């Protein structure tokens, strides 16, 4: 799947934290580190279809920085 195909898929996903950042990335725009983390979490969760639920993938290297991790502490 290329970026354009993926962009067409996420168009129908709910508007939640990370969607705008993922869209910017797929359009070739620069995003910050925190925006990249938010975009990846949005992608991984499938667009947060049930709302922003706490992340349960504790083995993910981004887990400590996840926007859905209530214990997140980004240094």
* Mean pLDDT, range 54-61, rounded to an integer: 87
How confident is residue 45, by pLDDT bands cut at 50, 70 and 90? confident
Inter-axis angle of helices 33-44 and 19-26, to 10 degrees?
A: 100
Q: Are the CB atoms for 51 and 42 separated by under 8 Å?
A: no
Q: How confident is the model at residue 34 (pLDDT cuts 50, 70, 90)?
A: very high
In degrees rounded to 5, what are phi and psi of residue 74?
-85, 120
pLDDT at 70 over 70: no
Biggest alpha carbon distance in the chain? 34
Q: What is the pTM of this model?
A: 0.79
Q: Tell me the C-alpha to C-alpha distance, in Å, between residue 12 and each of 6, 7, 69.
A: 11, 9, 24
């Amino acid at each position: 799947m290329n970026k354009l195909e993926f962009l067409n898929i996420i168009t129908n996903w709910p508007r939640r934290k990370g969607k705008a950042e993922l869209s910017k990335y797929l359009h070739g725009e620069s995003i910050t580190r925190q925006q990249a983390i938010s975009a990846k979490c949005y992608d991984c969760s499938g667009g947060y279809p049930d709302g922003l639920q706490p992340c349960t993938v504790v083995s993910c290297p981004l887990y400590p920085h996840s926007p859905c991790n209530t214990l997140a502490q980004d240094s």
